[in-house]
Structure 1
Amino acid sequence: MRNILLISHGNMAEGVKASLEMIVGKQAHVHTASLKPDGDNLQFEHELKEKMKALNGETLIIADLLGGTPCNVASTNYLENDEVEIIAGMSLPLVIEATLNSQASVSELIQLSISGIANVKKKMMEAKVEKDPMVSNAELEKYKQYEGKANIVNVRIDERLIHGQVAGIWSPSLNTQRIIVINDEAAKDSLQKSSLRMAAPTSMRLSVLGVATAAKNIQSGKYGKQRIFLVFKNPTDVLRYLEAGGQLETVNVGNMSYKEGARDVTKSIKVLKEEETVFEAIAAKKVKITAQLVPNDPIIDFMEKLRS
């Protein structure tokens, strides 16, 4: 895996790394070097060289600003080093992509970074979510051969629904073809649907469904052999899905934030007493519940952790 060195004026590099690790977890191969507010090119060059000495093999340097001192110093020292690539124009999407996609070329990373820039208001007005209403039993007959055979690649509880971890890490790693967000409120809110469409990878289909509709459509085989990623906002919706006839083998708990009276189960999961009861009811239906923030984190037995 190539090393990544973020360089910037002030604390930008450290801030981007902190945001990166908030989304994808600790990254030992990502490093930083900064031009201090009271520093100069000599101070920065010394720090840069010290960092580079400690790195072995291929290194990608990502600078904050084309023509700025960090970028210029890096270019002066490593322009002719075949093991070093240099990109200017640091952004969080660029750094995430470089971190997770070690095979991407510099040109591909730049293109991906550019595609992450959008006029949000315009995009939200244009965003369309596939209409996926409850269909009649007669209409579902055409999917009979797939009934009860939905190809579900992951089921996640994440109160943020579609965000960086779901869209940028989990979905691509599982070769997802369709993300289905299952929540009654989201299914009724056109603005939230547009936001979810913007957050979802453009290469993937998206359905935003109420709990009862999702259970019926998925169990009917409506999505054929598509690789489906189910995202629930909370454990109550998971239990309601099961009670409505949905079938699940495993559920991964990703993010549940703090609420008054909640206790920590993991760093990213805070659970209320009444939610503990819901999880027990889900487990009683022979569903295995795990906790795993991102794919390279260890898989935790959630119920064991909850009961400890």
Structure 2
Amino acid sequence: MVGIVFASHGGLAEGVKDSVSMVFGDQPDVTAVSLLPSMAPENFRAALDSAVAGLSEPENVLVLIDLWGGTPFNQTSAALADHSGWALVTGLNLPMAIEACASRGAAKSARDLAGQLMVEGRRGVRVLPEDLAPQPKRVSAASTAAHAAPAPAGEGGLQIKWTRIDSRLLHGQVAMAWSKEIRPDRIIVVSDNVAHDELRKNLITQAAPPGIKANVCPVSKLIQIAHDSRFARTTALLLFETPQDVVRVIEGGVPLEHINVGSMAHSAGKIAINDTVSIDAQDAEAFKQLHDRGCRLGWQKVPADHEEPVWPLVEKSGLLS
């Protein structure tokens, strides 16, 4: 039988599992994995692996995930490379979950079941009064031609709307919250390491939110396109893993006046300066260079949060020589 894993940010996955139990009773080989605020991506992956290990057929597993591009999606998508019998579907809702449990007995495999759930999940989204549902728009030939015509390149270069340091790069907060707030044409991950890692590069490209393209480029390439007039009509949200790479981009002549700091993961040799940011001496020196160049450094996880200054936290860290 196909094993089912519900995966989400917060308690949604556990809630869906509980709701399915109300309809069908307790189900064998159904489990839930939640990404909690205190968890790093690798902690979620470990929880996912542990949950799947408890299923009777750990190589025949369907993972139903809340949203495309978040940490649960990214970590599960990476796991698919090592598990040819797994499949994942995003947009987790109760009709989808109920259909999965009702139909898995007849399904040959997790991959066969995944295709069925796309239809049922969409059917479960309804509105009352029914006339509130959007109607298909008629598109004239003239309008189609106008949209198909390429825009002429303008003066200047890439229009950078937002710059963020986040060691998780493209995850749920960026894909859903910041992209809706900033509304860029592209999300560009600027990292030499990721640009040379085909697996991470592909995962980031897949994680792009609807209507926005995601690209990965090394620092040198970003400096080039930032001054290329062919990109003058393109708006971008830049994502960096480290403040050191931001310094390199500014040294390359790209003006960045405001740096949003989201998350910098803790590792050996780093100290926490607040709930989500851990730095070492090299990070502190890079932040000093950014501060000395007049960059505003603000810590803000999501748009709804109040921005707090980062530089005073760096000064108090004791890491500056």
The 3-state SS of whatever aligns with 2:255 is: coil
Cα deviation, 1:129-167, whole Å, max 9, x if unaligned, reads xxxxxxxxxxxxx84x4315x332211111111111111
Are 2:226 and 1:243 aligned? no
Give the SS at the match of 2:247: helix
Alpha-carbon distance, 1:190 to partner: 2.1
Greater CA drift, 254-263 or 219-228: 219-228
Report matched runs for 1:1-308 at 5 Å: 18=10, 63-65=19-21, 67-68=23-24, 93=66, 110=93, 143=153, 145-148=154-157, 150-308=158-316
Change beyond 3 A, Cα 1:222–1:182: farther
Give CA deviations for 1:85-139 in whole Å, capped at 9, x if unaligned: xxxxx96516x99xxxxxxxxxx9859989xx997xxxxxxxxxxxxxxxxxxxx
The change in CA–CA distance for 1:17 and 1:160 in structure 2 (over 3 A counts) is closer
Structure 1 residues 192 and 16: alpha-carbon distance in aligned structure 2, compared to 1, 3 A threshold: closer
Q: Post-superposition shift, 1:18?
A: 3.6
How big is the alpha-carbon RMSD for the aligned residues of Structure 1 and Structure 2?
3.9
One-letter amino acid of the structure 1 residue matched with residue 23 of structure 2: G
Distance change (3 Å), C-alpha of 1:64 and 1:301: farther
Q: Do the aligned residues in 2 keep the contact of 1:216 with 1:246 (CA within 8 Å)?
A: no
CA positional deviation for 1:172: 2.1
Instruction: Measure the CA separation in 1 of the matches of 2:229 and 2:301.
Output: 29
| Residues 33/67 of structure 1: CA separation in 2 closer, same or farther (3 Å cut) | closer
Counterpart-to-counterpart distance in 1, 2:95 and 2:160: 28
Does the aligned pair in 2 maintain the 1:256–1:268 contact within 8 Å?
yes
Conserved? CA contact 1:259–1:272, under 8 Å: no
* TM-score, structure 1 as length reference: 0.57
Structure 2 counterpart of 1:146, which letter? E
Per-residue deviation at 1:34?
A: 9.8
Match of 1:168, as an amino acid? M
Q: Is the 8 A contact 2:9 2:66 kept in 1?
A: no
AA in 1 matched with 2:264:
M
2:231 counterpart letter in structure 1: Y
Q: Unaligned regions of 5+ residues in structure 1, if any?
A: 1-11, 21-30, 36-62, 71-89, 98-107, 120-141
Unaligned runs of 5+ in 2: 27-62, 71-90, 101-109, 112-151, 317-321
Deviation at 1:254, TM superposition (A): 0.9
SS in 1 for 2:231: coil
- AA in 1 matched with 2:187: I
Shift in Å, 1:303: 0.7
Structure 2 distance, partners of 1:281, 1:188, is 27
- Call closer, same or farther: CA 1:289–1:112 in 2, change over 3 Å: farther
Contact 1:257 1:268 in 2 (8 A): yes
State the AA in 2 paired with 1:196.
Answer: I
CA shift in 2, pair 1:298/1:112, >3 Å: farther
Cα distance, 1:238–1:112 mapped onto 2, change above 3 Å: farther
- Deviation readout 1:201-252 (Å, 9 max, x if unpaired): 1421122111011011013243223321000111111011111111111111
Secondary structure at the aligned position of 1:296 is classed as: coil
Q: Which amino acid aligns with 2:244?
A: T
SS in 2 for 1:167: helix
8 Å CA contact retained: 1:255, 1:268: yes
- SS of equivalent residue, structure 1 residue 162: coil
Letter in 1 for 2:179: S
| CA shift digits 1:176-209 (9 cap, x unpaired) | 2101110112112222211111112142112211
Closer, same or farther: CA 113–33 of 1 in aligned 2, 3 Å:
closer
- Is 2:64–2:92's contact at 8 Å kept on the other side of the alignment? no
Residues paired across the two proteins, number: 207
Answer whether contact 2:16 2:94 (CA < 8 A) is retained: no
